Structure 1
């Protein structure tokens, strides 16, 4: 018996996750923190996408001898319009971070939360989020993974030259994400995680990425994840490779590349590329869109428009949380919008396939009833409402309804309506992805955080509520199992009436509002009417 206990202790010591993790191609020295969490930052999950690997699909990381420090984040990826001399950005940016409970062993098999940041596919907008808050909220029962992926032309340049080249590839930003997921499948057990229980999280373009991974390869399940939680899924205009040629040609011309253009573009420095990395209008549009570089239909990874893929049932069946904020458009639209013409011009710049008849119908569905706000045009909130629904709210409701229609089990939807006094006074309402501060904890996200979310302030109550639902979903694929004490039961999305009519469905979603009014709500008839039209034109306007 004594020998058995000795061997058991010896094995446990060997199996425990140590700060130094050997991955085969490299060894990384992580950092233990006093709160019972160990983190490994800035590990390579793919080779540096520079030189001949620029515009190529991600490759395996090189083998490196010795022990590498993993105590600080790697560079984030260069974004459209950003200067190349920013200290924290680089073309060499394919790094991954892992946060794990210090007590975890290689046999712990803890659920893994794999977060895909947003940024319109043009920026790494949510880099370096800290996993400590979510791990603590889960009673140290999950592992959190964050990472960078290529954006802008580095991740989404598309043309016949790239498609026909044996050394180049389209949709590389999405392929980076899948490369990181494959890295998790291979190595996450060494950090205490379960490769068979990976839950995708993501916001905005990260949520759009989730939709594209659900429908990737026509809905083929490669076993990379078992559930998804998507905040503000975004349906932008999606072009084919052929339709994207003008972007490539213009970019090459700006850089003086007139012959052997792909080789020429690869020969340029990142500084040269960044000097010309800015948006141009879609053909037929008046001004550049907010986000020009986007995934393209390549008839392989992306085989159809996202609306069409979900409508046809060509998606992976896994449990899903999906939702949006009440005022998702306000941070994007021109504050000075002062006329119906300016409103329609903005919408057409983002969705160039909108026809005059479609714009007229949108004008009817979104009349300009105010309210007015200081330092804003009289049509600002009108265009914000229309854009927020077209790009965010209505696609997210469509996906949830499509999941239900195709028999999806485990289908939860929400509307986030927690009002911050400062944002309300500014006229922003409850803006795009503001719930990230509640999900991660306000001290764990980068950028501006509403003051009311801080400890002791008016909206601090929402943090344990959101973290309870999210960590429950990560652990149990159900937001209710480990929800916060006193939090209401979150019912699934759609219940059909007896006649089975889509017009008469009851759409149930969680309303995050105030402490005593956070509960289930039915999606209102006016929202459903607007979204029926948005969904109707989604495929014609190439979403």
Structure 2
């Protein structure tokens, strides 16, 4: 694995793994799924175990016959170091982790047919930061062609699926917030000074890893930020997602976004549900404390923006699948969920050339990653509850195989499939079944986030 937040890893980490059913040369080529792992852009590794992650999708039916490709990509400072020094150095790249992913896509495009994969039917998929990576690849300028998702006239992938996509604030490469990351790394490694970049390229890996630990947690509560992540570098990422993901204008065919009802609560300060502040969990349940969190998370929003924010997310409110709330923790969680997870996935799905789908997972606790056990590892729930397993994992498999989550639907005809986003509805996975819900609040809230996106920025 690549150097991590808490374990060493190795800089010699850019390799990938393949997994699929047996195939003989001359047999039909199969769809391909290139999978990017999550980990907040600060940690994570590709799946190299047997069975691999996502095996339950391959195993959900005989029709699920795709090849999974699991590439490593660099994370934290090794993969996402921004700053003026990086931008001005002709031998350095920002967004190196995203470039690693793009190289894996080019590899798959060129060589996957040797392993039984169809290079014209590649889907990119990821959860959390892996989903954020999917969003980045859909808006990226591959090889300076000026067209996202393409290399010249050659499309690198056909479909995109983002599960709970983590899309943190994407500053410009030399913005003060991005430059702080570079300066902090240089200072903590003893490289501050006029030759800082030269020093960083030669400093011991362990020093950089230790500095990562400090930087990652520096703004964890005040701004609900993990620091490392994509930046607008004017080369690979030229425009923010909110501007680049225009409806039906993407250079990929179909898109599918998933989010979980309460997953924003996994990222906001837990103190917002406590009656008093503590050193480990600052903030409390008071309105004053909530306002302090808002000012830290959204410092550039104007007073009229904040008024609109509080109208959309009032002290006592609701959401599509939240009947009601009256606490600061849920309120902040919805703000974070929509701005960083749900709306970015919604925008991506809507930008696909032939349209897309959006789904919401509501089964308690519906927090970040609460849904992965249906498709990430083999477990008893998949046997005890075949409806949810076949309905959810089956929809993912259908999307990978046919570019449509309903084309190879495994549930009965009276069970709801995914409504197209153009209908104004989302697919909902609840305790009992699958339903379709009209998007009203999320649509309005995502419009607000797109309006204020340049101030965040996202």
Q: What TM bracket, shorter-length normalisation?
A: 0.7 to 0.9
In structure 2, C-alpha distance between the alignment counterparts of 1:410 and 1:361, rounded to whole Å: 30
Displacement of 1:522 in angstroms is 1.0
1:248 paired to 2:173 = no
1:303 paired to 2:219 = no
Alignment equivalent of 1:511, drawn from 428, 451, 454: 428
Displacement of 1:92 in angstroms is 2.9
Which residue is equivalent to 1:136? 59
- 1:243-281 Cα offsets, whole Å, 9 max, x none, are 122221221122111242122112111111112114559
In structure 1, C-alpha distance between the alignment counterparts of 2:335 and 2:93, rounded to whole Å: 35
Residue pair 2:224, 2:267 contacting (<8 A) in 1 also: no
1:118-129 counterparts in 2 under 5 A?
Answer: 118-124=38-44, 127-128=47-48, 129=52
**Highest relative contact order (Cα 8 Å, sep 6+), 1 or 2?**
2
In structure 2, C-alpha distance between the alignment counterparts of 1:330 and 1:477, rounded to whole Å: 31
Residue pair 1:231, 1:324 contacting (<8 A) in 2 also: yes
Displacement of 1:83 in angstroms is 4.5
Which residue is equivalent to 1:480? 406
Residue pair 1:116, 1:207 contacting (<8 A) in 2 also: yes
Q: TM-score, normalised by structure 2?
A: 0.83
Residues 167 and 327 from structure 1, CA distance in 2 versus in 1: closer, same or farther, beyond 3 angstroms? same
Residues 247 and 361 from structure 1, CA distance in 2 versus in 1: closer, same or farther, beyond 3 angstroms? same
When the two chains are superposed, the root-mean-square deviation of aligned CA atoms in Å is 2.9
Residue pair 1:508, 1:521 contacting (<8 A) in 2 also: yes
Query: What is the aligned residue count?
Result: 422
Residues 284 and 178 from structure 1, CA distance in 2 versus in 1: closer, same or farther, beyond 3 angstroms? closer
Give 3-state SS (helix, strand or coil) of 1:277's partner. Answer: helix
Give 3-state SS (helix, strand or coil) of 2:181's partner. Answer: helix
1:34-49 counterparts in 2 under 5 A?
Answer: none
Which residue is equivalent to 1:10? none
Residues 240 and 314 from structure 1, CA distance in 2 versus in 1: closer, same or farther, beyond 3 angstroms? farther
Residue pair 1:280, 1:288 contacting (<8 A) in 2 also: no
Residue pair 2:55, 2:375 contacting (<8 A) in 1 also: no
Alignment equivalent of 1:178, drawn from 90, 102, 124: 102
Which residue is equivalent to 2:368? 432
1:99 paired to 2:33 = no
Residues 133 and 83 from structure 1, CA distance in 2 versus in 1: closer, same or farther, beyond 3 angstroms? closer
User: Which of these two proteins has the greater Rg computed from alpha carbons?
Assistant: 1
Which residue is equivalent to 1:146? 70
- 1:498-528 Cα offsets, whole Å, 9 max, x none, are xxxxxxxxx112111144x4122211x3333
Displacement of 1:179 in angstroms is 0.9
Displacement of 1:186 in angstroms is 2.4
Give the gaps of 5 or more residues in structure 2. Answer: 273-283, 319-325
Give 3-state SS (helix, strand or coil) of 1:509's partner. Answer: strand
Give the gaps of 5 or more residues in structure 1. Answer: 1-74, 372-376, 420-428, 444-450, 496-506
1:326 paired to 2:251 = no
In structure 1, C-alpha distance between the alignment counterparts of 2:88 and 2:244, rounded to whole Å: 26
Displacement of 1:435 in angstroms is 2.4
Alignment equivalent of 2:417, drawn from 464, 468, 489: 489
Q: TM-score, normalised by structure 1?
A: 0.71
Residue pair 2:31, 2:121 contacting (<8 A) in 1 also: yes
Alignment equivalent of 1:336, drawn from 263, 271, 276: 271
Give 3-state SS (helix, strand or coil) of 1:462's partner. Answer: helix
Residues 216 and 314 from structure 1, CA distance in 2 versus in 1: closer, same or farther, beyond 3 angstroms? farther
Residue pair 2:157, 2:252 contacting (<8 A) in 1 also: no
Residue pair 1:370, 1:381 contacting (<8 A) in 2 also: no
Which residue is equivalent to 1:534? 449
Displacement of 1:466 in angstroms is 1.5
Displacement of 1:138 in angstroms is 4.6
The more displaced of 309-318 and 295-304 is: 309-318
Give 3-state SS (helix, strand or coil) of 1:179's partner. Answer: helix
Which residue is equivalent to 2:4? 79
Residues 397 and 208 from structure 1, CA distance in 2 versus in 1: closer, same or farther, beyond 3 angstroms? same
Alignment equivalent of 1:117, drawn from 27, 37, 44: 37
Residue pair 1:325, 1:430 contacting (<8 A) in 2 also: yes
Residues 512 and 125 from structure 1, CA distance in 2 versus in 1: closer, same or farther, beyond 3 angstroms? farther
1:522 paired to 2:438 = yes
Residue pair 1:320, 1:412 contacting (<8 A) in 2 also: yes
Give 3-state SS (helix, strand or coil) of 1:112's partner. Answer: strand
Which residue is equivalent to 2:147? 219
Displacement of 1:178 in angstroms is 0.5
Displacement of 1:401 in angstroms is 4.3
Displacement of 1:474 in angstroms is 1.1
Residues 145 and 352 from structure 1, CA distance in 2 versus in 1: closer, same or farther, beyond 3 angstroms? farther
